[in-house]
Amino acid sequence: MKVAFQGEPGAYSEQAVFDYFGDVETLPCESFDVMFDSVASGKCNVALAPIENSLAGSIHQNYDLLLRHDLHIAGEYLLRVRHCLIVNPGVVKEDVKKAISHPQALGQCAGYLRSHGIKAEQVYDTAGSVKMLKELGALDVAAIASRRAAELYGMQILEEGIEDNPENYTRFLAIQKETVIPEGEAKTSIVFTLKNVPGSLFKAMSVFALRDLDLTKIESRPLQGKPWEYLFYIDFIGSAQDETVKRALDHLGEYALMLRVLGSYPRFKG
């Protein structure tokens, strides 16, 4: 089995791959587009795509890519993100004047960096920042990344868990060509568009409320080529195989201009 992820080896996404799938072959991808294309082309069996972070919110590009490709969600995983302050061997904290990392990681550690008088500088990737630091050999610069990245590049961890908020989780979706029929408690993700008329979203939401279906997420995205019109992405508890869910989707289809089931999959239990 071969699993695609976005980022350098040692990225949080790669850690999520091993946590979720176990001992598999991985394919690092330079962008989310390349990651999705690797599954669509058959180069990989599946991709593990980050879709939202509990602090930073949704990763909108991956919502757009889900719609663009004929692929299906087959599972989900929640990764607890623990940021480490990583340096070249022998460096002590007092030496560190600057930290490099992905903008999101820097933002999640902004309070820590301020309190230690460390300047932040953005680079393209968390694990990539460790790779860059190793190549530079700088003794006054730290990288912010995962424990795995530090171990992979033979670097030193000065401190672990430097994020300002410990409730830092990233939700990942397993994306593949084949649909799955989940056993046990399931989640379903859908996307739809509506006529821009009064009450249309209320009516769409009512199909779930009338059947006591639990919505876990709703996200709107601009509909490309149609200014001020929107796509609605919804996650809810239940499988598209369930009779109650089938009736809800049939009912929604009466209002929706477009409706697509992105996948039903096992709900992650951490």
Q: Which residues are catalytic?
A: 170, 172
Residue 67 main-chain phi, psi, to 5 deg: -75, -35
Side chain identity at residue 146, one-letter code = S
Write the single-letter amino acid at 26.
Answer: T
For every residue of 151-209, DSSP letters joined together read: HHTT-EEEEE---S-S--EEEEEEEESS-----SSEEEEEEEEE-SSTTHHHHHHHHHH
Under a CB-based contact definition with an 8 Å cutoff, are residues 82 and 160 in contact? Answer: yes
Amino acid at 22: G
d(CA 51, CA 58): 6
